[in-house]
């Protein structure tokens, strides 16, 4: 069998044969087969082995490894090596090195230490990626490509070299046309900040209290730079290779998932969640899933613990099982560990792996083997079904991430943390299965959309599309901090919101910070809650109040309203609700939108219903190391155990069930 004929689910690890004697590959393959693995990811850091001297290439060793893996029925995902340029490149061309915001030039010896915009470095990347594609673009054992590794402006303000500075200035010239237009949009008359030309625009270093519009524009520019860097490689691979192309993303949104994946074929994702926060990995996989029709690949996760030169985060037995099944449950078709064999030297030699640097199986090996065995058992059902769309979406925005980075608005507010804890967690644990979508995403698949902390409705023309969607019958839950800024990161001068007062039938009387004194509110059914983060106080003009403030300046005024718009409705939050009250609001909105929970189950159990040619069923994963139970409406067979469950499905701590409804 050719490796390209291997069908998902894919199960494997990151493999670095360049660090080991090539005669060891056979022994590694023997252990890979014992672990029931069918894919390895290689090449991502091996530029110095591929091109040991400028213009001199060595592909024999890589062909040998790919061929040996393929003959054993193990496919290869190839990574382009542009995250780790060889020493000869940076010694000969130091101008390509990354420059931090304080002007410090990076040194060779790390990774991602090169400027994504430097034209000289781009030329070298073009050559190595072209050569790789020519060598392996039609290799039957290669099933996919990974561009670079974990692209992201890792330093706080990204690369601040002269090339990036000039390109940013030109980007602003293209965006605004004249410096007078920029000055007007940013209100630079404040503090005498007017610029005389685009060449005067500075790098917004953290040490200076820079204009928020400048900082937001700079952070967006950094995202766009890495997007362009990835797209440049994708164009080469699409021209010369026939395998699908992706790039492995980290759980950070300062780099736009939506923009970077526009021309790519599949989504790849890396995460290292722990026993304390495994549920948060579901948040990011709910972001990966709707980006592309093709199932995503989880390209990195630890089998046992994280670590660089210090091992950290031991996982209890069963964690690897739950963690490894999570991407398959949420719509993926691959799970790969980082890494296969632990490094014997270097920066990450204490990171967990499947085999030790001595070639001995770690304590986790038997659990890994059983995971692979289970994937083989349930593989046909997984491959021939897909997660059932719920009709629920949650907006998550790179522009919002970058804006709140320099404008937190309320003391202690952190965009990602607020989304995770205040919004996603109550949704997730009430078993509503959301898609996390960018403002540019199509709205038509959804009946209920939540847009908390979405400051600019003008992203990707969302404002017009959203209103049209609501009028046709959509239910929209907005706020707090929604529709409060324009794309220049500035406030509106006619009202606190651009459109929401008119849309939601309210007038904002006061805007109050949530610190140090939070205010309480009462639902119309008489139950009370304490808001947080921010307090917009509403006077109703045609809207229906759902909750009123009971203390503070807004006492007796609306804290949360509902307003009909065409065939749909808007629910506007003036403050952030506590966990149970957010679930209460969600249930109210979901009923109106005819969105139903995925299951009746314990909150620590992830349940994802599936359907397709193989029938109906789903995957359930326990995420918190406690027993869990779900109610069943039909008898099901657990494909991993063969057992039939009729009224309830009970799972042990970190248990997994792939269940198929009976009768097929």
Cα–Cα distance, 328 to 330 (Å, whole number) = 5
Does residue 295 sit within a domain? yes
| 180 and 275 housed in the same domain | no
| 656 and 616 housed in the same domain | yes
Q: What is the pLDDT of residue 517?
A: 86
Looking at the predicted structure, is the pLDDT value of residue 1 above 60? Answer: no
Does residue 622 sit within a domain? yes
Average pLDDT over residues 450-464: 97
CATH number of the domain where residue 271 is located: 3.20.20.80
Does residue 179 sit within a domain? yes
| 371 and 406 housed in the same domain | no
Cα–Cα distance, 221 to 227 (Å, whole number) = 10
Residue 591: its H or E element? helix 579-593
Looking at the predicted structure, is the pLDDT value of residue 2 above 80? Answer: no
| 32 and 120 housed in the same domain | yes
Q: Which of 385, 410, 425 is the last residue of a domain?
A: 385
Q: Which of 561, 593, 625 is the last residue of a domain?
A: 593
Average pLDDT over residues 443-457: 98
The 3-state DSSP class for residue 499 equals: coil
| 550 and 576 housed in the same domain | yes
Q: What is the pLDDT of residue 50?
A: 98
| 110 and 147 housed in the same domain | yes
pLDDT digits (tens, 9 = 90+) for 238-272: 999 999 999 999 999 999 999 999 999 999 999 99
| 402 and 534 housed in the same domain | yes
Average pLDDT over residues 574-590: 98
Domains of the chain: total = 4
Q: What is the pLDDT of residue 4?
A: 61
pLDDT digits (tens, 9 = 90+) for 192-246: 999 999 999 999 998 889 999 999 999 999 999 999 999 999 999 999 999 999 9
Q: What is the pLDDT of residue 207?
A: 82
Q: What is the DSSP string of 214-269?
A: HHHHHHHHHHHHHHHHHHHHHHHHHHH--S-EE-EEPS--SS-HHHHHTT-SS-EE
Instruction: For residue 421, give its domain range.
Output: 392-593
Q: Are 281 and 326 in contact (CB under 8 A)?
A: yes
pLDDT digits (tens, 9 = 90+) for 379-414: 999 999 999 999 999 999 999 999 999 999 999 999
| 396 and 379 housed in the same domain | no
| 100 and 149 housed in the same domain | yes
Average pLDDT over residues 144-155: 91
Dig out the tokens for 331 from the structure: 């719509």
Cα–Cα distance, 280 to 285 (Å, whole number) = 9
Does residue 250 sit within a domain? yes
Looking at the predicted structure, is the pLDDT value of residue 154 above 90? Answer: no
* pTM score of the predicted model: 0.97
**C-alpha distances in Å from residue 294, one per residue of 13, 41, 443:** 21, 19, 19
| 83 and 189 housed in the same domain | no
- Give the chain's mean pLDDT: 96
Does residue 598 sit within a domain? no
Q: What is the pLDDT of residue 110?
A: 86
Does residue 453 sit within a domain? yes
Q: Which of 385, 409, 427 is the last residue of a domain?
A: 385
CATH number of the domain where residue 480 is located: 3.40.50.880
Burial class, 358, CB count within 10 angstroms (exposed 0-12 / middle 13-18 / buried 19+):
exposed
Average pLDDT over residues 307-317: 90
pLDDT digits (tens, 9 = 90+) for 288-304: 999 999 999 999 999 99
Torsion of CA 550, 551, 555, 559, to 10 degrees: -60
Does residue 599 sit within a domain? no
The 3-state DSSP class for residue 632 equals: coil
Average pLDDT over residues 162-188: 98
Does residue 192 sit within a domain? yes
| 146 and 260 housed in the same domain | yes
- Tell me the percentage of the chain whose pLDDT exceeds 90: 95
Residues paired with residue 561 on neighbouring β-strands, in sequence order: 545, 572
Cα–Cα distance, 280 to 417 (Å, whole number) = 10
Looking at the predicted structure, is the pLDDT value of residue 46 above 60? Answer: yes
CATH number of the domain where residue 628 is located: 2.60.40.1180
| 485 and 377 housed in the same domain | no
């Amino acid at each position: 069998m050719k490796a390209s004929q291997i069908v998902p689910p894919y199960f494997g690890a990151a493999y670095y044969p360049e660090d080991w004697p090539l005669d060891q590959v056979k022994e590694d393959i023997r252990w890979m087969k014992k672990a029931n693995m069918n894919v390895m990811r290689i090449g991502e850091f091996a530029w110095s082995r591929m091109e040991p001297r400028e213009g001199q290439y060595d592909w024999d060793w890589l062909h040998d490894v790919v061929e040996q893996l393929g003959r054993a029925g193990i496919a290869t995902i190839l990574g382009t090596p542009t995250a780790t340029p060889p020493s000869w490149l940076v010694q000969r061309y130091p101008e390509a090195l990354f420059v931090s915001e304080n002007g410090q030039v990076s040194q060779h010896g790390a990774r991602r230490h090169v400027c994504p915009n430097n034209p000289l470095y781009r030329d070298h990347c073009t050559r190595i990626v072209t050569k790789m594609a020519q060598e392996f673009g039609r290799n039957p054992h290669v099933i996919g490509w990974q561009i670079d590794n974990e692209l992201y402006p890792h330093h706080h303000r990204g690369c601040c070299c002269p090339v990036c500075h000039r390109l940013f200035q030109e980007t602003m010239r293209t965006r605004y046309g004249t410096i007078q237009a920029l000055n007007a949009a940013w209100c630079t008359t404040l503090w005498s900040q007017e610029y005389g030309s685009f060449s005067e625009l500075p790098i917004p270093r953290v040490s200076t209290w820079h204009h928020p519009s400048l900082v937001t524009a700079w952070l967006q520019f950094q995202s766009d730079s890495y997007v362009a860097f990835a797209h440049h490689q994708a164009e080469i691979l699409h021209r010369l290779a026939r395998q699908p192309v992706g790039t492995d993303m980290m759980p950070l949104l300062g780099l736009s998932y939506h923009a970077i994946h526009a021309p790519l074929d599949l989504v790849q994702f890396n995460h290292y969640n722990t026993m304390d926060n495994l549920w948060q990995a579901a948040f990011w996989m709910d972001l990966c899933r709707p980006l592309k029709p093709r199932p995503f690949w989880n390209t990195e996760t630890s089998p046992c613990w994280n670590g660089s030169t210090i091992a950290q985060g031991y996982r209890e037995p069963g964690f690897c099982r739950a963690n490894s099944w999570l991407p398959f449950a949420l719509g993926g078709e691959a799970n790969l560990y980082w890494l296969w064999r632990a490094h014997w030297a270097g920066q990450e030699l204490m990171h967990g792996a499947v085999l030790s640097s001595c070639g001995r199986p770690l304590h986790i090996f038997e659990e890994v083997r059983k995971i692979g065995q289970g994937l083989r058992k349930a593989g046909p059902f997984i491959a021939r079904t897909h997660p059932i769309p719920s009709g629920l979406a949650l907006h998550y925005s790179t522009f919002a991430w970058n804006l709140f980075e320099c404008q937190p608005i309320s003391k202690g507010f952190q965009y990602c943390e607020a989304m995770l804890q205040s919004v996603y967690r109550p949704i997730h644990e009430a078993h509503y299965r959301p898609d996390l979508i960018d403002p540019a995403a199509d709205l038509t698949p959804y009946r209920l959309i939540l847009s908390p902390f979405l400051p600019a409705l003008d992203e990707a023309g969302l404002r017009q599309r959203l209103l049209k969607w609501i009028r046709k019958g959509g239910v929209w839950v907005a706020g707090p901090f929604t529709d409060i800024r324009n794309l220049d990161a500035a406030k509106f001068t006619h009202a606190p919101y651009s459109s929401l007062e008119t849309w939601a039938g309210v007038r904002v009387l006061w805007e109050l910070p949530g610190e140090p004194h939070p205010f309480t509110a009462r639902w119309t059914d008489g139950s009370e809650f304490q808001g947080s983060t921010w307090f917009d106080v509403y006077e109703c003009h045609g809207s229906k109040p759902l909750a009123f403030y009971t203390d503070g300046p807004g006492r007796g005024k609306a804290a949360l309203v509902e307003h009909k718009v065409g065939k749909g409705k808007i629910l506007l939050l003036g403050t952030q609700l506590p966990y149970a009250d957010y679930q209460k609001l969600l249930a109210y909105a979901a009923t109106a939108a005819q969105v139903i929970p995925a299951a009746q189950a314990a909150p620590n159990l992830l349940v994802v219903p599936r359907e397709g040619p193989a029938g109906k069923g789903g995957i359930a994963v326990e995420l918190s190391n406690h027993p869990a139970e779900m109610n069943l409406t039909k008898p099901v067979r657990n494909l991993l155990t063969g057992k039939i469950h009729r009224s309830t499905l009970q799972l042990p701590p970190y248990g997994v069930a792939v269940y198929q409804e009976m009768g097929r």
